[in-house]
Amino acid sequence: MDRSPLGIVLNGVTGRMGLRQHLIRSILAIREDGGLPLRDGTLLWPEPVLVGRGETKLRAVAERHGLEDWTTDLDAALARPDVQVYFDAQVTSARVKALRAAIDAGKHIYTEKPVAESLTEAVDLAREADAAGIKHGVVQDKLFLPGLQKLHRLVRGGFFGRVLSVRGEFGYWVFEGDWQAAQRPSWNYRSADGGGITLDMFPHWHYVLEQIFGPVRSVTARSVTHVDRRWDESGEPYAATADDAVYGLFELDGGVLAQINSSWAVRVNRDELIEFQVDGTHGSAVAGLHHCRIQPRAATPKPVWDPDVPTAQRFREQWQEVPDNEVFGNGFRAQWEQFLRYVAEDAPYTGDLWAGARGVQVAELGLRSSREGRRLEIPALDR
């Protein structure tokens, strides 16, 4: 097959997510498999141009993976006529400036979330991208998790009857960094650098709820900083000024209530780092990253509350596993392939910068709800 090269600037590949999920498990994996087949019989061949601020780290990444095209000069990379796509996996605080430069250069945009630190910036970016006539997309990796794909299948198949509620638990203990290294970068815990779990995770929960269950109409949230002192990558102590936990209540179309707790200060007592329980009139399901278990109405046990007698029921054993029924690949790669087909052959694609702006809107309203202690409606965005 003929190869159709597509130049892609990858900015932020020295970070964990940009390196592992986007470069290695997505772009390089596509190349290792010979390219991405298109409808016309050609193979789209990604040509990565690595961009970053630290020359030493960037050179090391490029050499480790046999890549020669890298630079610390973003403007020079964006000026190249053989580059058609710009991807951003930088820290949140650096994202808007870089995205705007890519839009001005006429490049298609694909970016990690949140797309901006404020709704105003996020909406401005979406408007500017539309006006420039470019294609744009935002990473929505949680939708491609095998467990959530199975859950979505159950919703589409009518398994639940009328959905009543969604309950989500996400998080794990992130070490403070003093006696054991932290698993997350220190900027995540500094509000001045765009940190905070509300801004990080509410955009995720918004697109999960929106695309699986329906539009989100209101939010009530409480954002807190449970651990206010941490140690950075150099072993120096610093004040943690960003929220490390948020407890949210979302109201959806049709009266569905979704409660989602997100925390970097919780110890895991569940099967996976994220779990959603969905209860409906005809059945319930519990979905994680990979697994999804169901309990239909006809197989629902009948427990009776009796605090004086230990229960003999094994509640976890009363659920059945949903079969895979298909091969689930890496979710980041799956969405990359969707976006690249959108760019190359105008294939359907929904997760654009406007979807990213709605995620920032929910995060911003969640933080405001926490400050003001009240429920907030989510208005439609003015395009």
Distance CA 141, CA 300 (A): 32
- Per the domain annotation, does 378 fall within a domain? no
> Which CATH number do you get for residue 82?
3.40.50.720
Instruction: Tell me: do 150 and 99 sit in the same domain.
Output: no
Instruction: Tell me: do 84 and 151 sit in the same domain.
Output: no
The pLDDT assigned to 311 comes to: 87
> Which CATH number do you get for residue 270?
3.30.360.10
Instruction: Tell me: do 248 and 212 sit in the same domain.
Output: yes
pTM of the prediction?
0.94
Instruction: Tell me: do 321 and 181 sit in the same domain.
Output: yes
Question: Tokens representing 75?
Answer: 């403007």
Instruction: Tell me: do 117 and 165 sit in the same domain.
Output: no
Count of structural domains within the chain:
2
| DSSP E strands, 307-347 | 320-321
Instruction: Tell me: do 318 and 193 sit in the same domain.
Output: yes
Structural domain boundaries enclosing 49: 3-141+331-349
The pLDDT assigned to 133 comes to: 98
**pLDDT tens, per residue, the chain with 383 residues:** 789 999 999 999 999 999 999 999 999 999 999 999 999 999 999 999 999 999 999 999 999 999 999 999 999 999 999 999 999 999 999 999 999 999 999 999 999 999 999 999 999 999 999 999 999 999 999 999 999 999 999 999 999 999 999 999 999 999 999 999 999 999 999 999 999 999 999 999 999 999 999 999 999 999 999 999 999 999 999 999 999 999 999 999 999 999 999 999 999 999 999 999 999 999 999 999 999 999 999 999 999 898 998 888 899 999 999 999 988 999 999 999 999 999 999 999 989 999 999 999 999 999 999 999 999 999 999 98
- Per the domain annotation, does 356 fall within a domain? no
Mapping DSSP to helix (H, G, I), strand (E, B) and coil, where does residue 170 land? strand
pLDDT digit string, tens, across residues 47-75: 999 999 999 999 999 999 999 999 999 99
Instruction: Tell me: do 224 and 120 sit in the same domain.
Output: no
The pLDDT assigned to 312 comes to: 86
Instruction: Tell me: do 92 and 199 sit in the same domain.
Output: no
The pLDDT assigned to 102 comes to: 98
| DSSP E strands, 268-367 | 274-280, 283-287, 292-296, 320-321
Instruction: Tell me: do 122 and 181 sit in the same domain.
Output: no
- Per the domain annotation, does 377 fall within a domain? no
Q: Please state, in angstroms and as integers, the Cα–Cα distance from residue 300 to each residue in 82, 213, 357, following that order.
A: 59, 23, 40
Instruction: Tell me: do 137 and 150 sit in the same domain.
Output: no
In this structure, the number of other CB atoms found within 10 A of the CB of residue 297 comes to 13
Distance CA 86, CA 103 (A): 9
The pLDDT assigned to 57 comes to: 95
Instruction: Tell me: do 246 and 156 sit in the same domain.
Output: yes
- Per the domain annotation, does 309 fall within a domain? yes
CB 153 within 8 A of CB 246: no
Distance CA 105, CA 117 (A): 22
Question: Tokens representing 10?
Answer: 């990858």
What's the chain's length in residues?
A: 383
| Residues 296, 300, 305, 308, CA torsion sign | negative
Instruction: Tell me: do 148 and 258 sit in the same domain.
Output: yes
- Per the domain annotation, does 382 fall within a domain? no
The pLDDT assigned to 313 comes to: 87
- Per the domain annotation, does 383 fall within a domain? no
- Per the domain annotation, does 30 fall within a domain? yes
- Per the domain annotation, does 381 fall within a domain? no
DSSP symbols for 32-56: HTT-EE-TTS-EEEEEEEEE-S-HH
CB 243 within 8 A of CB 261: no
Q: Kindly report the backbone phi and psi dihedral angles of residue 302, in degrees, each rounded to the nearest multiple of 5, phi listed first.
A: -125, 75
Q: How much of the chain is helix, strand and coil, in % rounded to 5? A: 35, 25, 40
